[in-house]
Amino acid sequence: MKKIKKRDQEYIKQNNLKMILDIIKDKRPISRAEIVKIANMSPTSVSRIVGSLMDLGLVKETETYSNGVGRKAILLDLDLESVITIGVYINKHIINVGVVNFGGEILYKDKIDLNPKDIYPDILIKKACGLINDVIKNSKIDSSKVIGIGVSLPGIINSKNGEVIFSAPLNWKNIHIAQAIESELNIRTIVDNDVKLKALAESLYGVGKNSGKTALVNFGKGVGSALIINGEIFRGVTNIAGEIGHITIDPNGILCECGRRGCLQTFIVEDNLIEEANKVKKIVDIEEIFEEARMGEDWAVSILERAVTYMCVTINNIVCMYNPDTIVVSGSLVEAYPEILKEVEEKCKTFIWAPLRGTFKILYSELKSQSDIIGPSTLASNTFLSFDI
C-alpha cells in the first residue's frame, strides 16, 4: 500500500515537472506569476517545481524588463545548452542530420546525397551513423549533453519498437532502424513518420505555435497529414492516423504506390501529374507543366486545376474529420510553386463545407525543410528527457 502511494506521488511530481517545463518552453521567457496563472497552481507549488527544474539545470533565471510595466522582473527561460538532441531525416535521395538545442534551434547540420544503391537498409543505416558521428564531432558540442537521436522517414512506422513497418519510397519492410542506430552509436534512438514529425515541429516552433489543434497536410511525392492536439501527435492505434493520401476516391482509378486503386494521392502527386502530361507532350518534370500552364496551354492548366481541386478535397476531408483550428500546408509541390497555394486558398473559400468555413486558418509551413530536423529532434527530447533528481 505504502509502495503504491509512493509511486503515485512520484508520478504526480514527474507530471508537474513536465507541465511547468512545457509552459516555460511555450511562453519563454516567463515570470513565476504568469506560470501560476497558466498552471492554476499555488505560487508555493510553482516555486518548488521551478526550483527542481533549476536544480536539474533545465531552466534558468534571466533578468529582463517585463512587458509594459518597465520595471525589472526575474523571468525564467530554458537553459538552451542543457539538452541536446540529434535530428535525422531520411528519404531516398538524402540523409540530413542536425544538432538541435533545447529551444528547438539547429546549431549545426550536414547532409549526404544518396544513390539508388545506397537505400538498402544496411548501407543507408551505416551512412546515417557515419554522418551522425561527423555532425556531433564537427558541431563541437559537449557530446555528453546528447540525450537521444530522433529519426524521421516516410512510411508506416512503429515508433514504440523503432521499426519501419513499410516505406514505399525506400522500399523497406520491417527494418528495426532505431535499434540498429542505437547499438552502433550507443545513443538512445526513436523513429517516426516524417509528416507526423513535421507537424510536431510546426505546432511547437512554427506557424502552429498558438494553435491547440493543428493539422498539417503535406503535398509532395505523396500526400499525408498529421494532427497535433495540445502538443501531442495523434497516432491512432498503430500510428497510421493521418494517412489521408490513401483514402479511396475512385475504386476503379489508377494504381497507387500502395498497390490499391484510385487513392486520393494519385490525383495530386508529381509523378502522376507528369504521367498525365505525357499523354499530350513529352515532359520530364513538374516544372515543365507549370511553364506550359503559365504560357496558357490548356492541357497543362487542366492538369494543375484538377490537382488544385483534389488538394481542396484533401483539406475539406481533414477539416470534416478533425475540425482543427489551423491547417498547415507544406510539401515540395506547394513550396516550389507558391502560385498553386494561392489557387488552393481561393478555391477553398467556396469548396469547403459551409459550416467549417471560417473555423480554421490555412497557414504555410514556416520552418519548411528545417522541420525535417527539428521534428525528430523534438520527439527525441520529449521521449528521452528524464526528470530523475
- Residues at the contact surface with Zn ion, assessed by CB under 5 A: 246, 256, 258, 263
State in angstroms the smallest separation of the CB of 249 from Zn ion.
10
State in angstroms the smallest separation of the CB of 258 from Zn ion.
3
With beta carbons less than 8 A apart as the criterion, state whether 246 and 258 touch: yes
State in angstroms the smallest separation of the CB of 268 from Zn ion.
11
Chain mean position to CA 32: 30
State in angstroms the smallest separation of the CB of 260 from Zn ion.
5
- For 284-305, give the DSSP string: -SHHHHHHHHHTT-HHHHHHHH
Burial readout 210-240 (b: 16 or more C-beta within 10 A, e: otherwise): ebebbbbbbbbbbbbbbbbeebebbbeeebe
State in angstroms the smallest separation of the CB of 171 from Zn ion.
15
Residue 248 DSSP label = B
Nearer of residues 153 and 341 to Zn ion, judged by Cβ: 153
Q: What are 255's three cell numbers?
A: 494504381
Nearer of residues 46 and 244 to Zn ion, judged by Cβ: 244
- Mark out the alpha helices in 157-251 (DSSP H runs): 177-185, 194-205
Q: What are 218's three cell numbers?
A: 503535406
Nearer of residues 27 and 246 to Zn ion, judged by Cβ: 246
Angle between helices 270-277 and 286-294 (to 10 degrees): 60
Evaluate the CA torsion angle 234, 239, 244, 248 in order and state its sign. negative
Nearer of residues 48 and 246 to Zn ion, judged by Cβ: 246
State in angstroms the smallest separation of the CB of 256 from Zn ion.
3
Nearer of residues 85 and 272 to Zn ion, judged by Cβ: 272
Nearer of residues 216 and 263 to Zn ion, judged by Cβ: 263
